[in-house]
Amino acid sequence: MPEVRAGELLLRVVYLSLDPYVGSILRGRHMGEAPPEPGNVIPGRGLGQVLVSKAPGYSAGDYVLAETGWRDHAVVKADCVRRVGTGIAPLSAYLGAAGMPGLTAYAGLHHLAKIRGGENVLISSAAGAVGGTAGQIAKILGASRVIGLAGSDKKCSLTVQNYGFDDCINYRTPDWQDKLRAAFPQGIDVYFDNVGGELLMAALTNLAHYGRIVLCGLASQYHAEERPAGPNPGLYIAKRAQLFGLVVYDFEKEQDAYSEMAGEWIRQRQLVVMEDRVDGLENAPHHFEKLMRGENLGKAIVVVGPEAQ
């Protein structure tokens, strides 16, 4: 075990979060962050339980969120962690719907798109951590119709059955663009984009006048060597569109308040948590590859240790 100094905590990692931004860091494409050198720890957020505390305000047994990296134990500075309550189950929801991906969905819909009651909303990567939460939050905030885009029939049916989307279109079927047009006879008021590329183009084409687009992710470019050219700005002009680039770090101060609100939604069953779990840290690389190939169903989580000990 590493030595624990004043102001630090020794954690046993219970859950490790796998997120697409880690792929961007490893490729040297994440907001100027340098990739780790070979032999160093792969970055990642974890939910851990305090084993040893040398920091005021924390005791053995407390649960915290921290930048633990891909490890089963980590020493972290206490002023860099967030304490979490034990009021929601599973606790791993603090890494997903009640955590950073959830805040991303909420910030995009509430703060940027300023979604209003009765609006028609389209969400891509609808079965994923951000997209699945965004669809449910859009409903909570009063959207009248929420349609998802996802990459398989299985993802689509889970999105409708588990998350309560009104419908979901598999964009790998040949007539998906016709289905999209038919799903929005009045046009799309808000598009929450996790993907970019062809899906963004299709959403833009079907946008209502004065529609808003939240640009959240670029999943279609995960494996692209070069950045493709964007759509002709004429389309944005014709639609009188508003575009919002979203960076969740801008909303970090709201994380605790959001987690509390999302926790209540989870307890009331207004917000359903769907996870793609694997047991054992040794399976993290394989599970991460699955996420980067788009084969995950819900929030990708590695269970590193038992929740209660």
Task: State which residue, 90 or 151, has the beta carbon closest to ligand NAP.
Answer: 151
**Calpha distance 284→302 (Å, rounded):** 6
Q: Does 19 bind ligand NAP (CB under 6 A)?
A: yes
Distance CA 215, CA 199 (A): 12
With both helix axes pointing from N to C terminus, report the angle between 176-183 and 197-205 in degrees, rounded to the nearest 10.
40
| One residue of 22, 169, 219, 241 binding ligand NAP per CB under 6 A | 219
**One-letter identity of residue 141:** L
Cβ neighbours, 10 Å, residue 22: 20
Distances in whole angstroms, Cα of residue 3 to Cα of each of 50, 53, 281: 14, 11, 22
Residue 131 or 135: the one with the smaller Cβ distance to ligand NAP is 131
Q: Which of 49, 92, 104, 120 binds ligand NAP (CB under 6 A)?
A: 104
Closest approach, Cβ 218 to ligand NAP, in A, equals 6
CB of 216 to ligand NAP, least distance (A): 5
- Please enumerate in sequence order all residues whose Cβ is within 8 A of that of 292, keeping only pairs 6 or more positions apart, or say none: 20, 23, 222, 223
Site string for ligand NAP, 155-194 (x = CB under 6 A): x--------------------------------------x
- Nearest-angstrom CA–CA distance, 108 and 192: 8
Contact 132, 149 (CB under 8 A): no
Q: What phi and psi values does residue 23 have, to the nearest 5 degrees?
A: -60, -40
Identify residues 265-284 at the interface with ligand NAP (CB under 6 A).
none
Decide if 245 contacts 84 (C-beta within 8 A): no
Contacts of 118 (CB under 8 A, 6+ apart): 142, 143, 144
Residue type (1 letter), 244: F
Place of tokens 């609006």: 119
- Judged by CB under 6 A, the chain residues 122 through 161 that form the site for ligand NAP are 125, 127-131, 150-151, 155
Span 30-89, contacts to ligand NAP by CB under 6 A? none
Binding residue for ligand NAP (CB under 6 A) from 10, 169, 195, 301?
195
Chain centroid, CA 16 distance in Å: 14
DSSP letter for 303, please: E
Asked whether position 220 contacts ligand NAP by CB under 6 A, the answer is yes
Q: Which residue of 46, 48, 101, 263 would you call a contact of ligand NAP, by CB under 6 A? A: 101
Q: Taking CB under 6 A as the rule, which mask of x and - marks residues 230-249 in contact with ligand NAP?
A: ----------------xxx-
Interface residue with ligand NAP among 121, 216, 271, 303 (CB under 6 A) is 216
Shortest distance, position 150 Cβ to ligand NAP, whole Å: 4
Residue whose CB is less far from ligand NAP, 21 or 176: 21
Residues of this chain that interact with ligand NAP (CB under 6 A) are 19-21, 101, 104, 125, 127-131, 150-151, 155, 194-195, 216-220, 222, 246-248, 291-294, 296
